[in-house]
Amino acid sequence: MGFQSVRDLIVKGHRVFLRADLNVPLKEGKITDATRIQETLPTLKCLLEGGASVVLASHLGRPEGKGFEAAYSAAPVAAWLKDQGIDCRQASYVNGPAVEAEAAALQPGQVLLLENLRFEKGETKNNPEFAASLARLADTYVNDAFGSAHRAHASVSGMVADFPRDRVAAGFLMEKELKALGKVVDHPDKPLVVIFGGAKVSDKIELIQNFLGKADAILIGGAMSYTFLKAQGFEIGKSLCEEDKLEMALDLLKQAEAKGTRLLLPLDHVAAVAFKEDADCAITVDQNIPADRMALDIGPETVAVYAAEIRAAMTLLWNGPMGVFEMAPFASGTLTMAEELADAADRGAFVLVGGGDSVAAVNKAGVATRMGHVSTGGGASLEFLSGLELPGVTALQH
């Protein structure tokens, strides 16, 4: 993968800047879900047990970037880490001489948690002076914040060049994400089948294009499928459609054919008279959707065809739901895909789930733990799978 892992570093006696994703949900100053902090604990503990002191940093929510804001303080994170038995102290601010003195005073095994990085505009603007001020806090840099790797921010990419090449590494979570995503993009066991859903073709153009010629089959569901169907002349009733993307949808179908990837579209739909849970709904007889109805899920014939594709695959990627799975009458397509993918993983296929809605769907179906890898980074995983360079990853590789 072209980067060093935290396990390759000798950290005894070193001070490590650990960029993590500690952007946890807060309610009245209390953490409501600590998953993101837990995900980075293996990296933090590896550094501390190796004899390092750690300057820990993250953003939290969306402060204005004009200095300290109590509502976005990292204090609840410091308190949580202390409760876990970690010797953690809260820095007086994000950067500056006082914080440099606090970092210099750290003993091996101790953690200094910086205040919210986004209190300073220099973080999101990738300001060189701000990046340099962060780099002065440590002699080693580790990035474990995959969810922020697609952002060219000071703590993610800007400060990394200030460290010697051999003092830069990826944390365990970052490494796990990159290995799993890289396996699907660069060296999948064939057949490779990808399932793309969600509302808009426009959000997934680069994603689809990146898998044309790579994937054996692309299975399309969700509202984006109606744009493809309309482009081919089918009736889509009141279903969602991106009218300005019809030409592009046709072009993608042509590219798929030219590159030898089968692009499959729904053969039937669950169509309702309104976007409501209790609306009258029926299964269409074919790909056409009646004029007075909107499609809100893939139908049983489509489910059967897609399930057969999944069963024949050795590598599978899922991004985006097949319908409005939050409403019970329109959840069957998405939840059945989740079950089929879990069964595929059980029999030895590599299954990667990426994207917020797909992650929510495998959690709802209760099958998340059976998947090969469930990606934590929504935007970052989407960009990586689309073949785009991630600034935070590129920085680790230089």
Catalytic positions, please? 36, 200, 356, 379
Amino acid identity at 284: T
357 is in an annotated binding site: yes
21 is annotated as contributing to ligand binding: yes
Cβ within 8 Å of residue 171, ≥6 positions away = 6, 18, 20, 40, 43, 142, 143, 144
* 23 in a known ligand binding site: yes
127: left (phi over 0), alpha (psi -120 to 50) or beta: beta
Distance from C-alpha of 116 to C-alpha of 136, rounded to nearest angstrom: 17
Decide: 201 and 223 in contact? Cβ < 8 Å. no
Instruction: For residue 356, say whether it is annotated as part of any ligand binding site.
Output: yes
366 is in an annotated binding site: no
Q: Is 30 annotated as a binding residue?
A: no
Question: Is residue 264 part of an annotated ligand binding site?
Answer: no
CA 357 to centroid of chain Cα atoms: 10
Q: Whose CA is closest to 377, among 211, 145, 62, 221?
A: 145
Question: Has 22 been labeled as part of a binding site?
Answer: yes
Annotated binding residue 358: yes
> Does the annotation flag 378 for ligand binding?
no
Which residues, listed in sequence order, are joined to residue 120 by a DSSP beta bridge?
66
Tell me: is residue 59 an annotated ligand-binding position.
Answer: yes
- How far apart CA 394 and CA 398 sit, in angstroms, is 6
Burial class (CB in 10 A: 0-12, 13-18, 19+), 164: exposed
Gap between the Cα atoms of 166 and 14, Å rounded: 13
301 labelled binding-site residue:
no
Residue in 72, 4, 102, 86 with CA at minimum distance from that of residue 37? 86
Q: Which helix (H) or strand (E) holds 256?
A: helix 246-259
346 is in an annotated binding site: no
Q: Is 118 annotated as a binding residue?
A: yes
What residues form the annotated binding site for ATP? 204, 326, 355-358
Mark the binding-site residues for (2R)-3-phosphoglycerate, compressed into ranges: 36, 118, 151
Binding residues for substrate: 21-23, 36, 59-62, 118, 151
Which residues are annotated as part of the binding site?
21-23, 36, 59-62, 118, 151, 204, 326, 355-358
